[in-house]
Structure 1
Amino acid sequence: MSGLIKNIEFSKIINLKDLVSYEEGQVISRTLAQTPTANITLFSLDKDEGISSHLTPGDAMVQILDGKAEITIGSNTFTLKEGETIVMPSNIPHALLACEKFKMLLTVIKG
C-alpha cells in the first residue's frame, strides 16, 4: 500500500513543528495519515485555546513538539512541555488546553 501518508514531503529531513503555524485565537491541524485504524495529525493551538472533553474509540498518544499544554484524562490533569508524551486511553474523557501556545503530534490507534 502506498499513499497512506500525505501532506508531508517524502525522502526529506523535516522538523514536524515547522509543518503547522500558529494563528491567533485558533487551533490549526494538518492530517498526515488517516485510515480506519490509525490517524496521525499535527496541531498548533494558540494560548488559551483548547479541545473540549471528548472520547475516542482508540488510544491517543500526544507528543508535545513546542510550548506547554494542560491535558486532562478522566479526573487527572497533567502539564506537558516540549519533548514530553502522554497516552490517553480509549473511551476515557480527555481534553487539552494551551497554557502557552503549543504544537503537538497526535497519533490515534483504533482496534
Structure 2
Amino acid sequence: MQRFLKNLDYATALPLAAQVAYQPGQIASKTLVQNAAVSMTLFAFDQGEEISAHTSTGDAFVLALDGQGQVSIDGQPTVLKAGEAIVMPAGHPHAVSATERFKMLLMVVFPTENQ
C-alpha cells in the first residue's frame, strides 16, 4: 500500500501540536507531505524566531496549533492564536514570526498542469 503522509501514525488519533517539539532558539519542523501538488509541515517556533518575507508559487494555509504568532502578508501583520487560520496567497510576500512560542501546521497547494 502506498503511503502519502509520513512521520505520523496511521489510523490513530494524534494530538497534532505534540508531533513537533519546541527547541530553544530555533524553529523545529516535521514534514508530513512533500510532492509537486502539496506540502504539509508542522513547525514549532521558539519565541522571537521568524521566517523572513518570501513568496511561494502555491497558496499557503496556516493553522495555529499552540501559542501565538504573527503572519505578515504584503507587509500587513495579523496575530494568530491556537485554533485560528489564515491563507497566504501565492505570489504575495509573507513572513511568520513567534511573538511567543508558536506551533503551526503549514499546508501549501501548488498549481498543477491540470489547472
TM-score by length of 1: 0.98
CA drift at 1:3: 1.4
Large movers: runs of 4+ above 6 Å: none
Alpha-carbon shift at residue 35 of structure 1 (Å): 1.1
Paired position in structure 2 for 1:103: 103
SS at match of 2:106: strand
Shift of 1:76: 1.0
**Is it true that 1:82 corresponds to 2:50 in the alignment?**
no
Q: Return the letter of the residue paired with 2:55.
A: L
Verify: 1:17 aligned to 2:17, yes or no. Answer: yes
> Partner of 1:57 in structure 2?
57
Partners in 2 of 1:102 and 1:2 — Cα distance? Answer: 32
Which residues of structure 2 form unaligned runs of 5+? none
Q: Distance in 2 between matches of 1:74 and 1:60?
A: 14
In structure 1, how many angstroms separate the alpha carbons of the residues matched to 2:75 and 2:104? Answer: 22
Consecutive unaligned residues of structure 1, counting only runs of 5 or more, are none
2 CA distance for matches of 1:91 and 1:12?
A: 36
In the aligned structure 2, how far is the partner of 1:75 from the partner of 1:34? 27
> Which residue of 2 is the match for residue 91 of structure 1?
91
Q: Alignment RMSD, CA only?
A: 0.9
SS at match of 1:101: strand
Distance 1:108 1:100 in 2: 24
Identity %: 42
